[in-house]
């Protein structure tokens, strides 16, 4: 019979590694932070290696901890899956993926199609559309797909692609107001759509910085025109003929190909950060997650 470490010590280590905190792990397990710390020390003594680097109240996985976590997390996931599936047939892996609203419908859904028809067919996928920042530990998120990684300095970030902002409009709007891109001055200020990426973003594209980057001598009055708080709404408004919008080129490529939008100005502006996949370091070796990330990386460059 295999000699196994104490189960309580393994549970304490898994919870602490996933949440990044003895206190949060204790709340989840119904014990004190000191009890979690002691259980982790018991496991370290049993293994003979340090699993965490401790600095005050902060803990970070050691190299040994990072190597051990994926297998331990997978073991607990397998046990949970078997328990849940006892009367429901074959147990399945489960992934929680959180995605930025603008990326969900216009990029992630098409990118997931081939994965769901192939290697991801048996994976239970929990998709959550939400704004940054998200709470990985609290909401048990495995992967975040978003713009930039500045809000997640302690997590692993894998870039997808670096996009550029372009000016788009419906074909009818462009034909009426922008028949000659060199005469953008004829477009009234009310014809501009302004999108705002939220208070946590310091690098959102605006008409002011687009005009500077494109060397266009025009500064639309920000007090006029249509204002929206999501990129997806700006794109939808442009498709509806409500004005000229700034949008990431990668998110409007399908709409342009389908004729719902046109690039109304020839200039573009590189976005300051790439779109990225964010995940806890401890999950990097999880088989199902690694497979999904590899697929999304390929889709980003297709």
Which CATH number covers residue 80? 1.10.10.10
Bridge-based pairing of strands 164-169 and 52-55 is unpaired
Q: Are residues 170 and 223 in the same domain?
A: yes
* Joined tokens for residue 93: 């892996």
Say if residue 137 is in the same domain as residue 282.
yes
Let me know if 156 is exposed, middle or buried by CB neighbors in 10 A (0-12, 13-18, 19+): middle
The pTM for the full model equals 0.72
d(CA 142, CA 136): 7
Tokens 């295999």 belong to 2
Q: What is the pLDDT of residue 109?
A: 92
* Confidence (pLDDT) at 277: 97
pLDDT at 253: 94
SS3 76: helix
Write the CATH number for 143. 3.40.190.10
pLDDT value, residue 87: 52
List strands edge to edge, sheet with 94-99: 124-129, 94-99, 143-147, 275-279, 156-161
Instruction: Please check whether residues 197 and 62 belong to one and the same domain.
Output: no
171 and 248 share a domain? yes
Q: Are residues 140 and 237 in the same domain?
A: no
Domain match, 65 and 105 both: no
From 59, 84, 109, give the residue that closes a domain.
84
Are 146 and 77 in a shared domain? no
Asked if 136 contacts 144 with a C-beta cutoff of 8 angstroms, the reply is yes
| Four-point Cα dihedral 184, 189, 194, 200, nearest 10 | 110
Does the bond joining 225 to the residue before it have cis omega, within 30 degrees of 0? no
Let me know whether 280 and 294 are in one domain: yes
pLDDT along the chain (302 residues), means of 10: 78 86 85 90 90 82 85 74 56 83 91 87 90 85 93 90 96 92 84 76 74 88 90 95 96 96 94 93 84 95 84
Query: In terms of residue numbers, what domain contains 262?
Result: 164-270
Q: Are residues 157 and 186 in the same domain?
A: no
> Do 48 and 20 lie in a common domain?
yes
Taking the C-alpha atoms of residue 285 and residue 68, their distance in angstroms, rounded to an integer, is: 10
Q: Does residue 292 form part of some domain?
A: yes
Same domain, residue pair 76 and 105: no
Say how many domains are in the chain: 3
Please check whether residue 195 is in contact with residue 231, taking contact to mean a CB–CB distance below 8 angstroms. yes
């Amino acid at each position: 019979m295999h000699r196994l470490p104490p189960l309580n010590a393994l549970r304490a280590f898994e919870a602490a590694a996933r949440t990044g905190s003895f206190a949060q792990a204790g709340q989840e397990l119904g014990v004190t932070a000191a009890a979690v710390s002691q259980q982790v020390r018991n496991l370290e003594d049993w293994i003979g290696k340090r699993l965490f680097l401790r600095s005050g109240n902060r803990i970070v996985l050691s190299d040994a901890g990072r190597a051990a976590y994926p297998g331990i997390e997978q073991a607990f996931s397998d046990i949970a899956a078997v328990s849940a599936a006892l009367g429901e047939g074959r147990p399945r892996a489960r992934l929680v993926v959180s995605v930025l609203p603008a990326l969900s419908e216009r990029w992630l859904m098409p990118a997931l199609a081939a994965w769901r028809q192939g290697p991801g067919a048996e994976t239970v996928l929990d998709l959550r559309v939400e704004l940054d920042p998200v709470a990985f530990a609290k909401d048990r998120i495995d992967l975040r797909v978003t713009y930039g990684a500045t809000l997640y300095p302690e997590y692993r970030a894998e870039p997808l692609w670096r996009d550029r902002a372009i000016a788009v409009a419906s074909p009818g709007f462009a034909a009426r107001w922008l028949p000659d891109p060199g005469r953008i001055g004829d477009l009234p200020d009310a014809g501009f759509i302004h999108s705002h990426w939220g208070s946590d973003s310091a690098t959102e594209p605006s008409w002011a910085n687009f005009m500077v980057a494109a060397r266009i001598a025009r500064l639309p009055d920000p007090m006029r025109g249509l204002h929206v708080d999501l990129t997806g709404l700006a794109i939808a408004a442009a498709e509806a003929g409500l004005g000229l919008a700034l949008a990431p080129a990668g998110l409007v490529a399908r709409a342009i190909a389908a004729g719902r939008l046109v690039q109304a100005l020839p200039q573009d502006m590189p976005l300051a950060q790439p779109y990225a996949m964010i995940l806890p370091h401890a999950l990097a070796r999880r088989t199902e997650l690694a497979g999904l990330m590899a697929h999304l990386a390929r889709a980003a460059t297709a």
